């Protein structure tokens, strides 16, 4: 089964709320969906009733076929208190982007109430700052201390320019016998190709995350109408 994560950007309408009957009906659909899962026998009903997502999808149905029906498509979501959200943008990441999902937020894709987290604007600014620093490839120990940003190490790990930023050792030299002579290679070409591919994945993921965070932080909000942007990060 594939795994990954995604950011979702919503517009929240603070002055628009669904009736409590609508929210309770949605919660019941999630409860019935939980009852159908193989591990449901290991949980009591009360635990499954509490297993609901941060934002309830208005089109959610316990029956998968009904859920996927064309006439059930909607971009409307509700928070627990019924506040309406409209889904605007989604930014998907594959299995190579795991630092936020696994190491920081520790998301569980198999539980509705543990598979996502809301990102505040302050937190988004810190993540964006870390991404910009890692991608700059202009690293400085004192500057990192001043930043005091835990996301730097988290998101930089695995990116070879970042991993080697303060190393002073040179690449190893490989001497191989070839016929009656020897060949000298600076580094292992196969390993170097793997590192290069991994670095490209890191850059792709960080640039995609950066685009999402910029949209969240810079898009206009009609706060005077009770509207605001909400960013959710989810695992699957």
pLDDT band at 1 (very low <50, low <70, confident <90, very high): low
Residues 52 and 112 sit within 8 Å (Cβ to Cβ) = yes
- Say what the pLDDT of residue 66 is: 94
Per-residue pLDDT at 2: 81
Higher pLDDT, 1 or 159: 159
Average pLDDT over residues 23-48: 85
Tell me the C-alpha distance between 50 and 27, whole Å.
9
Would you state the structure tokens that stand for residue 155, as one six-digit string? 């998101």
From residue 35, alpha-carbon distances to 39, 51, 84, 158, 236 in Å are 8, 11, 27, 40, 19
What pLDDT score does 151 carry? 98
What mean pLDDT comes out for the span 11-26? 97
- The mean of the pLDDT values for the chain is 91
For residue 189, what are the contacts with CB-CB under 8 A and spacing of at least 6? none
pLDDT of residue 108: 96
Q: What pLDDT sits at residue 175?
A: 66
Torsion of CA 117, 122, 127, 132, to 10 degrees: 150
Q: What is the pLDDT of residues 153-174, one digit of tens each?
A: 999 999 999 999 998 766 666 6
Domain extents in the chain: 5-18+82-235
pTM of the entire structure? 0.87
Q: What percent of the chain has pLDDT over 90?
A: 77
| 199: helix, strand or coil | helix
pLDDT score, position 43: 73
Task: Give the model's pLDDT for residue 57.
Answer: 98
- 113-146 pLDDT per residue, tens: 999 999 999 999 999 999 999 999 999 999 999 9
DSSP codes joined into one string, 45-108: HHHHHH---SSEETT--SSHHHHH-GGG---EEE-TT-EEEEEEEEEEE-TT--IIIIIIS---
Place of tokens 């040179």: 170
């Amino acid at each position: 089964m594939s795994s990954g994560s995604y950011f979702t950007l919503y517009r929240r309408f603070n002055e628009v709320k669904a009736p409590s009957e609508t929210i309770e009906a949605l919660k019941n659909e999630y409860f019935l969906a939980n009852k159908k899962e193989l591990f449901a026998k290991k949980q009591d009903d009360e635990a499954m009733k509490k297993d609901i997502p941060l934002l309830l999808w208005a089109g959610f149905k316990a029956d998968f076929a009904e859920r996927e029906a064309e006439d059930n498509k909607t971009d409307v979501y509700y928070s627990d208190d019924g506040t309406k959200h409209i889904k605007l943008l989604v930014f998907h990441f594959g299995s190579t982007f795991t630092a936020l999902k696994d190491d920081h937020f520790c998301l569980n894709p198999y539980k509705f109430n543990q598979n996502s987290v809301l990102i505040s604007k302050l937190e988004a600014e810190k993540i964006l700052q870390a991404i910009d620093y890692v991608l700059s490839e202009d690293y400085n120990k004192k500057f990192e201390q001043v930043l005091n940003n835990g996301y730097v190490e988290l998101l930089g790990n695995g990116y070879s320019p970042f991993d080697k930023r303060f190393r002073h050792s040179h690449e190893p030299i490989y001497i191989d016998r070839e016929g009656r002579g020897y060949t000298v290679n600076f580094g292992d070409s196969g390993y170097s190709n793997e590192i290069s591919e991994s670095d490209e994945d890191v850059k792709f993921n960080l640039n995609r995350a950066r685009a999402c965070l910029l949209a969240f932080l810079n898009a206009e909000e009609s706060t005077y109408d009770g509207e605001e942007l909400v960013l959710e990060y989810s695992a699957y």
